[in-house]
């Protein structure tokens, strides 16, 4: 999948840089006589390269040299973006020399100049109005699962009274709706009555007992727990919070197939409660996992019927109360067959069909969906198709940037919009400010099921969202997001990575070298701070911190001149160093009012500051 998506984000990067270059006022350029010629040359070079991008995006799938060319172009575009902050003559000259070579290579590859967007299939039609389809209505993905919900609820509340832990696995392939089904059970009124405590833990690949106990305690208390707490301390606190309560624990997305690890975790749970008949739901794609953990019959999640898939498509493609024209029925039901019973596929396809004519439905069916099915890759192809049809290019990059947040992290809409603003992805247009454009982009991603609502407030308004894990995988492949996990294992090569997620930087974690750090543009850090390393992130635009261990920012942050966003709202940081006033491009600062004591007096020097919020 990755090979086919690189060009789209490169196009967005180049387009954004061009907008920045072309928006520099003439009088400002004239102030720097030595730069004027170099800046003009930069503008002309990127304008010329932009004409090659559509053809390069098409050719990269089969031509590895073109893919490397796109990667090289993206690197130069990022460097040029930083140079605009510095207005350094030597660096501008060096970038112009690189661009000359890139232009020559484009000609050598035989790339054709095309008008931008000429090959995007009805791309603009996906920007219709960005209606918020999922914020106030029931999620249509749960259609057809009523029997599954009632069956699981019945098994959990009638489990043998003498059994301490009744464990029910939900098994199925990605995109079948395992997590959504577990959430429906979790929020069922009979479950709420039967179990006095309900705990939700996202597991993924890191099945570490101490980490899981920490997450259980956080779910019980609603507070972040400091890293470094011992196993015994965590278990004592869990026991204190549970007391004699019956609980339901959901372990979402479990991949661990080691019996010893599971037994160690389960045996620890057996000793923390004085009552019996607790319930555990485990969602997994692995039959082996289900066989290891089960005490109740495995719930094998089946594919939805074609009728249910069509119902999901209708719920996404038509507004509530709309009368569906008969001529859409035959086309729609045929398309529903291509979804292979996967609710996520039906939901994404339905989002693509919103406000489309019958001819457009037929075109998508015949041109794009004709080769789907049969190879087990349906969901990946449909997600890629939905991504391809996003427009403008900056929307594609907004989607990709969501992957900076780990899969288990719930994110507010405002946080995503601020991230996109800091990355320069939002431009005010036709009377709309950047925040309004960001909200429109968010609604378009929601409409296309590329983000999903996971929590609402008492009035039904969206509170937090995240991405389905398969969608998150696509976003990571688009952006090249690199993750470093708690145990220090690096999932990808991080040299020249621009976006890095660090889930902990404890004593045993792999350090990030200066050479690796200097390219990083956005950093999400959950865990211990690394004050001595912060200076190495010379190109950093976005810094998002999480964790109770983080209590101060080093004064060296004032040397990270490219920073646009600093978010400490999920930490215990009490104040900002005075050096923050040196960050003249800083636009957004978020802090936690529960711990934060005072803002720095130097904030008055932050001429670019747009928002400063206390969460």
Q: Secondary structure of 30-42 in the HEC alphabet?
A: HCCHHHHHHHHHH
Q: How many CB atoms lie within 10 A of CB 325?
A: 9
d(C-alpha 103, C-alpha 551), whole Å: 48
pLDDT of residue 116: 40
- Domain boundary (406, 439, 466) is at 466
Q: Which band of pLDDT confidence, cut at 50, 70 and 90, is reported for residue 302?
A: very high
Q: Which band of pLDDT confidence, cut at 50, 70 and 90, is reported for residue 131?
A: very low
pLDDT of residue 137: 36
575 in helix, strand or coil?
Answer: strand
33's CB contacts (< 8 A; 6+ apart) are none
Residues 400 and 343 in one domain: yes
Average pLDDT rounded to a whole number, residues 330-347: 89
Q: Which band of pLDDT confidence, cut at 50, 70 and 90, is reported for residue 29?
A: low
| Cβ atoms 391, 116 nearer than 8 A | no
Average pLDDT rounded to a whole number, residues 277-302: 96
- Domain boundary (411, 438, 466) is at 466
Residues 454 and 492 in one domain: no
Residues 352 and 229 in one domain: no
Q: Which band of pLDDT confidence, cut at 50, 70 and 90, is reported for residue 293?
A: very high
In a domain, 532, yes or no: yes
d(C-alpha 315, C-alpha 335), whole Å: 14
Please provide residue 144's backbone torsions phi and psi, each rounded to the nearest 5 degrees. 85, 5
Q: Which band of pLDDT confidence, cut at 50, 70 and 90, is reported for residue 541?
A: very high
Residues 273 and 320 in one domain: no
In a domain, 130, yes or no: no
In a domain, 138, yes or no: no
Share of the chain above pLDDT 90, in %: 37
Average pLDDT rounded to a whole number, residues 215-220: 92
Residue the block writes with tokens 């999400």: 524
d(C-alpha 605, C-alpha 33), whole Å: 27
pLDDT of residue 496: 67
d(C-alpha 372, C-alpha 375), whole Å: 8
Choose the weakest-confidence range: 166-170, 231-235, 611-615: 611-615
pLDDT of residue 12: 73
Residues 152 and 216 in one domain: yes
| Cβ atoms 548, 526 nearer than 8 A | no
Residues 236 and 290 in one domain: yes
In a domain, 515, yes or no: yes
CATH (domain of 241): 3.40.50.300
Share of the chain above pLDDT 70, in %: 80
In a domain, 409, yes or no: yes
In a domain, 571, yes or no: yes
pLDDT of residue 88: 58
Residue 86: pLDDT above 50? yes
Residue 411: pLDDT above 90? yes
Q: How far apart are the first and last CA of the chain?
A: 37
| Cβ atoms 576, 599 nearer than 8 A | yes
Average pLDDT rounded to a whole number, residues 329-337: 88
Residues 314 and 432 in one domain: yes
pLDDT of residue 236: 93
Higher-scoring residue by pLDDT: 296, 599: 296
In a domain, 234, yes or no: yes
pLDDT of residue 438: 95
Residue 105: pLDDT above 80? no
- Domain boundary (413, 435, 466) is at 466
Expressed in percent and rounded to 5, the helix, strand and coil fractions of the chain are: 50, 15, 40
Q: Which band of pLDDT confidence, cut at 50, 70 and 90, is reported for residue 125?
A: very low
Higher-scoring residue by pLDDT: 115, 108: 108
**Range from 106-115, 220-229, 429-438, 507-516 that averages highest in pLDDT:** 429-438
> Residue 225 sits in which domain range?
145-300
| Cβ atoms 467, 485 nearer than 8 A | no
Choose the weakest-confidence range: 174-188, 357-371, 437-451, 541-555: 357-371
d(C-alpha 491, C-alpha 487), whole Å: 11
Choose the weakest-confidence range: 11-25, 481-495, 533-547: 481-495
Strands 247-254 and 197-204: parallel
Residue 9: pLDDT above 60? yes
Q: Which band of pLDDT confidence, cut at 50, 70 and 90, is reported for residue 278?
A: very high
> Structurally, how many domains does the chain consist of?
4
Residue 573: pLDDT above 90? no
Residues 66 and 27 in one domain: yes
Higher-scoring residue by pLDDT: 324, 56: 324
Higher-scoring residue by pLDDT: 128, 101: 101
| Cβ atoms 587, 435 nearer than 8 A | no
CATH (domain of 554): 3.80.10.10
**Nearest CA to 352 among 326, 381, 323?**
381
Dihedral sign computed on CA atoms, order 70, 71, 76, 82: positive
pLDDT of residue 16: 76
Residue 132: pLDDT above 70? no
Residues 409 and 384 in one domain: yes
What average pLDDT does the structure give for the chain? 81
Alpha helices in 243-357 (DSSP H): 259-270, 287-293, 306-317, 326-338, 343-352
**Nearest CA to 165 among 334, 18, 61, 294?**
294
Residues 546 and 494 in one domain: yes
Q: Which band of pLDDT confidence, cut at 50, 70 and 90, is reported for residue 243?
A: confident
Average pLDDT rounded to a whole number, residues 605-611: 76
Q: How many CB atoms lie within 10 A of CB 54?
A: 21
Residues 260 and 176 in one domain: yes
Average pLDDT rounded to a whole number, residues 130-134: 40
pLDDT digits (tens, 9 = 90+) for 418-435: 999 999 899 887 788 899
In a domain, 135, yes or no: no
Residues 102 and 186 in one domain: no
pLDDT of residue 77: 81
């Amino acid at each position: 999948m990755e090979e086919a998506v690189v060009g789209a984000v490169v196009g967005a990067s180049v387009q954004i840089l061009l907008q920045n270059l072309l928006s520099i006022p003439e009088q400002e350029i004239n102030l720097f006589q030595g730069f004027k010629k170099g800046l003009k040359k930069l503008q002309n070079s990127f304008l010329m390269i932009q004409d090659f991008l559509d053809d390069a995006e098409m050719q990269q799938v089969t031509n590895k040299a073109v893919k490397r060319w796109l990667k090289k172009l993206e690197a130069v575009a990022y460097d040029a973006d930083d140079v605009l902050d510095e207005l350094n003559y030597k660096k501008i000259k060096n970038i112009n020399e690189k661009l000359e070579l890139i232009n020559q290579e484009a000609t050598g590859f035989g790339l054709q100049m095309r008008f931008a967007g000429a090959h995007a299939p009805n791309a603009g039609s996906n920007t219709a109005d960005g209606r918020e389809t999922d914020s106030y209505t029931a999620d249509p993905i749960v259609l057809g699962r009523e029997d599954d919900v009632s069956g699981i609820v019945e098994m959990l509340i009638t489990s043998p009274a003498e059994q301490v832990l009744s464990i029910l696995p939900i098994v199925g392939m990605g995109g079948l709706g395992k997590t959504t089904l577990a959430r429906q059970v979790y929020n069922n009124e009979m479950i709420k009555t039967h179990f006095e405590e309900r705990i939700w833990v996202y597991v993924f690949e890191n099945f570490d007992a101490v980490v899981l106990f920490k997450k259980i305690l956080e779910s019980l208390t609603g507070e972040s727990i400091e890293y470094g707490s011992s196993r015994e301390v965590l278990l004592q606190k869990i026991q204190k919070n549970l007391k004699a309560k019956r609980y339901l624990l959901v372990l979402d997305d479990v991949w661990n197939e080691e019996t010893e690890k599971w037994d160690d975790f389960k045996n620890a749970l057996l000793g923390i409660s004085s009552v019996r008949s607790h319930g555990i739901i485990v969602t997994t794609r692995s039959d082996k996992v289900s066989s290891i953990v089960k005490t109740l019959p495995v719930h094998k999640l089946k594919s939805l019927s074609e009728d249910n898939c069509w119902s999901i498509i209708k719920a996404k493609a038509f507004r509530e109360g709309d009368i569906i024209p008969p001529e859409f029925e035959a086309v729609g039901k045929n398309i529903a067959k291509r979804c292979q019973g996967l609710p996520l596929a039906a939901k994404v396809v339905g989002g693509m069909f919103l406000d489309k004519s019958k001819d457009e439905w037929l075109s998508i069916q015949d041109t794009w969906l004709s080769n789907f099915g049969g190879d087990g890759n349906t969901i990946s192809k449909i997600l890629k198709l939905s991504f391809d049809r996003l427009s403008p290019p900056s929307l594609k990059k907004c989607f990709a940037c969501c992957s900076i947040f780990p899969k288990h992290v719930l994110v507010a809409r405002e946080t995503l919009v601020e991230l996109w603003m800091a990355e320069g992805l939002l431009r005010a247009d036709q009377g709309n400010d950047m925040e309004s454009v960001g909200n429109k982009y968010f609604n378009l991603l929601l409409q296309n099921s590329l983000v999903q609502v996971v929590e609402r407030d008492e009035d039904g308004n969206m509170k937090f969202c995240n991405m389905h894990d398969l969608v998150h995988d696509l976003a990571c492949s688009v952006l090249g997001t690199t993750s470093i996990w708690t145990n220090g294992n690096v999932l990808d090569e991080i040299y020249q990575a621009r976006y890095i997620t660090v889930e902990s930087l404890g004593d045993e974690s792999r350090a990030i070298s200066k050479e690796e750090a200097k390219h990083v543009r956005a950093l999400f850090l959950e865990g211990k701070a690394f004050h001595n390393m912060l200076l190495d992130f010379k190109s950093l635009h976005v810094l998002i911190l999480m964790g109770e261990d983080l209590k101060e920012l080093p004064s060296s942050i004032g040397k990270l001149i490219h920073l646009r966003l600093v978010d400490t709202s999920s930490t215990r940081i009490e104040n900002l160093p005075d050096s923050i006033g040196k960050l003249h491009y800083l636009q957004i600062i978020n802090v936690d009012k529960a711990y934060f004591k005072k803002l720095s007096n130097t904030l008055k020097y932050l001429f670019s500051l747009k928002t400063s919020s206390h969460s």
